[in-house]
């Protein structure tokens, strides 16, 4: 074994003893995997809902989004969405997500997924959500009058409008048990 390899393996042993450090690559993979079905099902529900028109799709989204998040949250894993400009206040970011949201909001160069040790038992994962052209129907600057009325009725405190395609909309998040 060369000195360099020896040094590297020593370092590996040392860092694996440090409980405050996590294997970022491993947890990023686990986070991305856990959030994938939620993303897919949500998009599917949205696209299917939009076939009956955006007003109808709002109701679908309102009912399906929390259900899908719930369904994907098992075995101690929790998934969800959060944003700094909310439509549904129950999607408010938890304290551990705030630093990521702040970085994503302020630095367009740093938009890669992130992981953090929330506490001894839990790792948090986030990935940014960007506005696509189809999102603008319900999150853009100009909403159709009937759609605007419907959203206003269901979400009187709605802040999630004024977006353009390519904007950062928020994050998908996952809480993963460490064991
Ligand atoms: C048919 C209208 C509609 C379309 C199209 C739509 N959304 Fe939404 N969006 C909603 C509604 C309604 C909610 C609130 C859901 C709830 O009550 O949980 C929401 C909530 C969200 C949230 C959660 C944070 C919050 O503000 O509550 C994110 C993130 C989000 N939308 C992103 C997107 C993205 C990205 C797209 C495009 C892929 C999109 N939306 C397309 C209606 C829509």
Return the residue whose CA atom lies nearest to atom 36 of ligand 1: 135
- The string over 99-133, giving b where at least 16 C-beta atoms fall within 10 Å of a residue's C-beta and e elsewhere, is ebbebbeeeeeeeebbbbbbeeebbbbbbbbebee
Each domain of the chain, given as residue ranges in start order, spans 23-177
Q: Whose CA is nearest to atom 33 of ligand 1?
A: 135
Residue-wise pLDDT tens digits, 22-60: 999 999 999 999 999 999 999 999 999 999 999 999 988
In this predicted model, what pLDDT tens digit does every residue of 118-131 receive, in sequence order?
Answer: 999 999 999 999 99
Residues near ligand 1 (Cβ within 6 A):
46, 54, 57-58, 61-62, 65-66, 81, 83, 86-88, 91, 129, 131-132, 134-135, 137-139, 160, 169-170
């Amino acid at each position: 074994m060369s000195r360099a390899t020896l040094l590297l393996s020593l370092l590996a042993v040392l860092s694996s003893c440090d409980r405050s450090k996590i294997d970022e690559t491993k947890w990023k993979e686990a986070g991305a995997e856990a959030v994938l079905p939620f993303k897919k099902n949500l998009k599917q529900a949205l696209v299917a809902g939009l076939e009956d028109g955006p007003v109808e799709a709002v109701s679908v989204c309102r009912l399906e989004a929390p259900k899908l998040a719930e369904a994907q949250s098992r075995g101690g894993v929790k998934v969800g969405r959060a944003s700094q400009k909310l439509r549904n206040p129950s999607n408010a970011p938890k304290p551990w997500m705030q630093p990521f949201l702040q970085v994503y909001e302020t630095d367009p160069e740093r938009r890669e997924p992130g992981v953090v040790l929330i506490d001894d038992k839990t790792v948090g994962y986030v990935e940014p959500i960007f506005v696509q052209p189809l999102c603008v129907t319900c999150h853009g600057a100009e909403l159709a009058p009937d759609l605007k009325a419907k959203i206003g009725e269901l979400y009187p405190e709605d802040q999630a409008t004024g977006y353009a395609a390519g904007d950062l909309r928020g994050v998908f998040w996952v809480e993963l048990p460490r064991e």
